[in-house]
């Protein structure tokens, strides 16, 4: 079943493909909850819009933003004036649109943002498709790769919640223009690369490594090309535009760019979260995570077959580069570590993942909330899985068993779709089918409180009281999730924090900033009993405890 | 120059790996040990265990055996004598 269509038909197919995904997204958009950091990000956008309005004397915008900011309150919310280093790439445009479109309900702002985030994610899959199509000269493999990229369960679920998947999306665009720049080192490609890499750096500071990786690869190429002056001129152009665009996109740097930029690195360790996380049945400090933290999370939360294919694809590409390394001589006709354009793609992907993984490993990155900070590794996982599929294809083509390869790709895509449907709308908590229910519940669950919408709806159906008092036995500020409910229902919910004595119900999940085994802060009082729970594919997302005396 | 560049990159990478699995790894182990033994939660566990042990001691007929009691008594008396300062 090898798809061999002409260009026009391919374009129609692609338009149809994305139209289907767009329709699906619009239909399911409302099923997802509101995560606990949405309030902060809305505040972040409005704060910087107010700052810009102040700077350029837009008095009306200033007044609107000040009014909006004054209405955003939450006792657990960090002040934006202190935590003002976050990227504004989505927050600020949404704040502008919020001001222009004048949404009546805050809920609509959040869902509008979810949709934008998901659309950016879908658009990034097109960049991935283009890379794969060019690399393997196969429309079919490009489509399979794009499908696996979109339907990776955790990534798909989180694509509505911006943050880490937003970074993954912009990282995808960056890789696309990174490859284009490496292959055609011209000003146009470098300008696009500067644009997307500066956005990535705005979202996650560790993306500052991209210019260094570009220089590194171009040095290797230049041993062969020997165009030093041209190379230096263009690199200088890229660096200038990278920092210029970073400055433009980041109002935080506007007042004192050099000092504030350096401050980002100097205060990095203090600004990062420092608390206990639940990992493999134990509460461990996130500053001293084991080296296997990322590999374990990737293994348990990615579809098993894709992980295996990645492992082989990555291993074979690494082996090939190592072989080439040991054969380097002073004078060669080819680039030393790869031969031709196809291997160049593999080398770029290989070097980027090795550098970023090493960075997280060597710097003991304080990760939390499973591996969402490195969600962008999924690009590489799928790329190398497709790489191995391509090798299988080549092998079976020679042996006239090409249907095995087609069957394998169909299995992979179908498995992802099945996982998406099975866990909807909680794909963010997907574990692969080899993981037992006991093990699933030994890892961090609903950090972002995505299931709180489901929890509130559940409670409101089961309890007819006018006001329902809910205590929280976890480190999740669930009061922020109330905003996912229609306005008239919000008034019936009253959150009482850890005041268990004042509560009718207690919400509990396994998110705790302290060691919940020894610290009894989140222990359920004896006068409460387990009333209900939400279990998705064996993973408990929350439990409800009810007061024994209450009706 | 080219060979030197490639060798330097590999040596730098190997150095970082060696540093991570020796010094960095040891620092992490020590930090973990400190965290596990002296964190607020660990001290809380010790406090709880002490309380339980004290409760058990009260309920027991004799908590310290006779020989130890004589020894501790003698030792405490000795300390008290030595601490006496003539006014």
Strands A528-536 and A276-279: unpaired
Instruction: Report the alpha-carbon distance of residue B5 to residue A41 in Å, rounded.
Output: 44
Contact by Cβ (8 Å): A510, A278: yes
Averaged pLDDT of chain A: 91
Q: Is residue A144 part of a domain?
A: yes
Residue A196 pLDDT:
97
| DSSP string computed for A274-326 | --EEEETTEEEETTS--TTHHHHHHHHHS-HHHHHHHHHHHHHHHHHHHHHHT
C-alpha of A149 from chain center: 12
Q: Is the peptide bond before A425 cis (omega within 30 degrees of 0)?
A: yes
Residue of A nearest to B49 (CA): A518
What is residue A494's three-state secondary structure?
strand
Contact of A191 with A242, CB cutoff 8 Å: no
**A498 and A538 both lie in a single domain:** yes
Rounded Cα distance between A447 and A533, Å, is: 16
Q: Give SS3 for A535.
A: strand
C-alpha to C-alpha distance for B43 and B46, rounded to whole angstroms: 5
The pLDDT score that the predictor gives to residue A5 is 58
Crossing angle of helices A377-399 and A106-136, in 10° steps, is 40
Which of A25-29, A195-199, A463-467, B42-46 has the weakest average pLDDT?
A: B42-46
A169 shares its domain with A95: no
Q: Which of A549, A460, A446 is nearest to A503 (CA)?
A: A549
A514: containing domain: 452-547
**Same domain membership, residue A132 and residue A69:** no
Smallest CA–CA distance, residue A219 to chain B, in Å, is 9
Q: A502 and A373 in one domain?
A: no
Beta-carbon contacts of B4 under 8 Å, excluding residues fewer than 6 positions away, are: none
Q: Which pLDDT does position A259 carry in this prediction? A: 93
The DSSP string of A92-134 is HHHHHHHHHHT-SSHHHHHHHHHHHHHHHHHHHHHHHHHHHHH
Q: CA–CA separation, A93 vs A102, rounded Å?
A: 14
The SS3 assignment for A514 reads: coil
- Do A220 and A350 lie in a common domain? yes
Phi, psi for A233 (deg, rounded to 5): -60, -45
CB–CB of A177/A194 below 8 Å? no
Asked if B10's CB is within 8 angstroms of A518's CB, the reply is no
Whether the pLDDT of residue A2 is over 60: the answer is no
Is the CB of residue A316 less than 8 Å from the CB of residue A388? yes
Q: Does residue A10 form part of some domain?
A: no
pLDDT tens figures, A219-241: 888 877 667 788 899 999 999 99
CA distance to partner chain B, nearest, from residue A7 (Å): 42
The answer as to whether A289 is a domain residue is yes
The answer to whether the Cβ–Cβ distance between A288 and B42 falls below 8 Å is no
Which of A239, A514, A223, A287 is CA-nearest to residue B9?
A: A223
Model pLDDT for residues A397-440, shown as the tens digit of each residue = 776 677 888 899 999 999 999 999 999 999 999 999 999 999 99
Contact A473, A524 (CB under 8 A): yes
Rounded to whole angstroms, what are the CA distances from B74 to A452, B62, B63, B70, B82?
Answer: 64, 18, 17, 6, 12
Residues A274 and A311 in one domain: yes
Inside any domain, residue A23: no
With vertex at residue A187, the alpha carbon angle to CA A186 and CA A191, rounded to the nearest 5 degrees, is 125
Partner-chain contact A285 B35, CB within 8 Å: yes
Domain assignment present for residue A5? The answer is no
Asked if residues A384 and A315 have their Cβ atoms less than 8 Å apart, the reply is no
**Number of C-beta neighbours around residue A419 at 10 A:** 22
d(CA B41, CA B20): 29
pTM of the model: 0.91
A17 located within any domain: no
Q: Do A57 and A134 have their domain in common?
A: no
ipTM of the complex: 0.83
Q: Do B31 and A285 touch (CB under 8 A)?
A: yes
A233 and A281 housed in the same domain: yes
* Contact assignment for A328 to B19 by CB distance below 8 Å: no
Inter-CA distances, A513 with A402, A468, A520, Å: 52, 26, 12
Neighbours of A221 (CB within 10 A): 20
- C-alpha A360/C-alpha A358 separation (Å) is 5
Same structural domain, A505 and A392: no
The span from the CA of A149 to the CA of A129, in Å, is 9
CA separation for the pair A400, A419 (Å, rounded): 32
Using a CB-CB cut-off of 8 Å, the residues of chain B touching A331 are none
Per the structure block, which two tokens stand in for A462?
Answer: 């089961």
- Phi/psi of residue A289, each to 5°? -70, 150
> pLDDT tens-digit profile of A240-280?
999 999 999 999 999 999 999 998 888 877 777 788 889 99
Assigned token pair, B43 = 């001290």
For chain B, the C-alpha Rg in angstroms (whole number) is 28
Whether A419 and A473 map to the same domain: the answer is no
Q: Are strands A493-495 and A468-472 parallel, antiparallel or unpaired?
A: parallel
A351 touches chain B (CB under 8 A): no
Exposure string over A39-73, b if 16+ CB within 10 A, otherwise e = bbbbbbbbbbbbbbbeeeeeeebbebbeebbeeee
**Contact flag A358-B16 (C-beta cutoff 8 Å):** yes
Using DSSP bridges, classify how beta strands A493-495 and A528-536 pair: parallel, antiparallel or unpaired: unpaired
Q: Which residues from A are below 8 Å from B10, CB to CB?
A: 325
The answer on A191 and A323 residing in a single domain is yes
Show residues of chain B in contact with A288, CB under 8 Å. Answer: 28, 31-32, 35
pLDDT at A73 (0 to 100):
81
Give percent above pLDDT 70 in chain A: 97
Closest alpha carbon to B25 in A268, A289, A371: A289
Q: What percent of chain A has pLDDT over 90?
A: 74
Helices (H), chain B: 2-19, 25-38, 40-59, 66-83
Mean pLDDT across A333-361:
91
pLDDT at A551 over 60: no
Work out the burial of residue B81: count CB atoms within 10 Å of its CB; fewer than 13 is exposed, 13-18 middle, 19 or more buried.
Answer: exposed
The SS3 of residue A498 is coil
Sequence-ordered list of residues with C-beta below 8 angstroms from that of A57, at least 6 positions apart, any chain: none
Sign of CA dihedral A67, A202, A297, A21: positive
Give the count of Cβ contacts less than 8 A between chain A and B: 41
Q: Is the pLDDT confidence value at A207 over 70?
A: yes
pLDDT (tens digit per residue) in B24-67: 999 989 988 887 777 777 787 888 889 988 888 888 888 888 89
pLDDT at B87 over 60: no
Does the beta-carbon distance from B40 to A325 stay under 8 Å?
no
Instruction: Give the count of domains, chain A.
Output: 3
B6 to chain A, any CB pair closer than 8 A? The answer is yes
- Across residues A179-189, what is the average pLDDT? 94
A442, with CB counted inside 10 A (0-12, 13-18, 19+), is middle
Taking the CA of residue A517 and the nearest CA in chain B, the distance in Å comes to 9
Same domain, A322 and A469: no
Let me know if residue A27 belongs to a domain.
Answer: no
CA separation for the pair A342, A320 (Å, rounded): 13
Q: Which residue has the tokens 């790996």?
A: B17
Q: What is the pLDDT of residues A495-538, one digit of tens each?
A: 999 999 999 999 999 998 888 887 788 999 999 999 999 999 99
3-class secondary structure, A435: coil
On whether residue A194 sits in a domain, the answer given is yes
């Amino acid at each position: 079943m090898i798809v061999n269509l002409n260009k026009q038909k391919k374009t129609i197919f692609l338009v149809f493909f994305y139209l289907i995904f767009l329709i699906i997204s619009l239909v399911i958009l409302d099923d997802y909850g509101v995560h606990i950091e949405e309030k902060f990000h809305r505040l972040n956008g409005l704060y910087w819009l107010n700052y810009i309005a102040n700077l350029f004397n837009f008095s009306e915008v200033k007044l609107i933003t000040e009014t909006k900011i004054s209405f955003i309150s939450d006792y657990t919310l960090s002040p934006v004036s202190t935590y003002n280093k976050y990227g504004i790439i989505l927050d600020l445009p949404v704040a502008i649109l919020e001001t222009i479109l004048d949404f009546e309900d805050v809920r609509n702002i959040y869902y509008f943002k979810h949709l934008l985030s998901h659309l950016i994610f879908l658009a990034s899959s097109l960049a991935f498709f283009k890379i794969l199509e060019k690399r393997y000269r196969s429309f079919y493999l490009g489509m399979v790769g794009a499908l696996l990229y979109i339907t990776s369960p955790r990534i798909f679920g989180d694509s509505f919640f911006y943050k880490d998947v937003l970074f993954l999306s912009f990282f995808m665009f960056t890789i696309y223009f990174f490859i284009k720049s490496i292959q055609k080192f011209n000003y146009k490609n470098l300008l696009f690369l500067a644009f997307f890499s500066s956005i990535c750096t705005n979202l996650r500071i560790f993306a500052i490594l991209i210019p260094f990786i570009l220089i590194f690869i171009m040095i290797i190429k230049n041993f062969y090309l020997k165009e030093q002056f041209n190379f230096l001129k263009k690199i200088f152009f890229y660096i200038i535009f990278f920092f210029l665009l970073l400055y433009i996109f980041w109002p935080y740097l506007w007042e004192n760019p050099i000092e504030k930029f350096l401050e980002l690195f100097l205060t990095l360790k203090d600004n990062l979260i420092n608390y206990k996380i639940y990992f493999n049945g134990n509460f461990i400090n996130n500053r001293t995570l084991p080296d296997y933290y990322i590999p374990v999370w990737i293994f348990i939360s990615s579809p098993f077959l894709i992980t295996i294919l990645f492992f082989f694809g990555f291993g074979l590409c690494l082996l090939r580069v190592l072989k080439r390394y040991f054969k380097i001589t002073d004078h060669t006709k080819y680039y030393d570590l790869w031969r031709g354009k196809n291997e160049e793609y593999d080398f770029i992907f290989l070097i980027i993942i090795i550098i970023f993984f090493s960075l997280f490993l060597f710097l003991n990155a304080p990760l939390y909330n499973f591996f969402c900070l490195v969600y962008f590794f999924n690009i590489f996982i799928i790329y190398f899985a497709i790489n191995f599929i391509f090798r299988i294809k080549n092998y079976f083509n020679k042996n006239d068993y090409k249907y095995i390869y087609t069957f394998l790709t169909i299995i992979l895509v179908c498995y992802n779709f099945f996982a998406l449907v099975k866990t909807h709308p909680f794909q963010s908590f997907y574990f692969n089918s080899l993981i037992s229910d006991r093990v699933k519940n030994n890892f961090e669950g609903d950090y972002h409180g995505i299931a709180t919408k489901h929890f509130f709806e559940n409670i409101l159906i089961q309890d007819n009281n006018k006001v329902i008092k809910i205590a929280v036995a976890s480190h999740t500020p669930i009061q922020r999730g109330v905003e996912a409910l229609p306005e008239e229902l919000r008034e019936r919910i009253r959150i009482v924090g850890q005041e268990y004595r004042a509560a009718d119900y207690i919400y509990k999940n396994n998110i705790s900033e302290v060691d919940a085994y020894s610290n009894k802060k989140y222990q359920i009082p004896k006068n409460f009993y387990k009333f209900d729970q939400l279990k998705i594919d064996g993973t408990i997302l929350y439990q409800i405890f009810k007061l024994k005396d209450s009706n | 120059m080219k060979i030197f560049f490639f060798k330097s990159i590999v040596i730098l990478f190997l150095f970082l790996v060696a540093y991570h699995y020796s010094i960095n790894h040891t620092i992490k182990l020590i930090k973990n040990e400190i965290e596990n033994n002296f964190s607020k939660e660990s001290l809380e566990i010790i406090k709880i265990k002490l309380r339980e042990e004290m409760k058990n001691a009260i309920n027991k007929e004799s908590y310290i055996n006779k020989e130890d009691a004589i020894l501790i008594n003698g030792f405490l008396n000795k300390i008290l004598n030595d601490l006496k300062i003539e006014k």
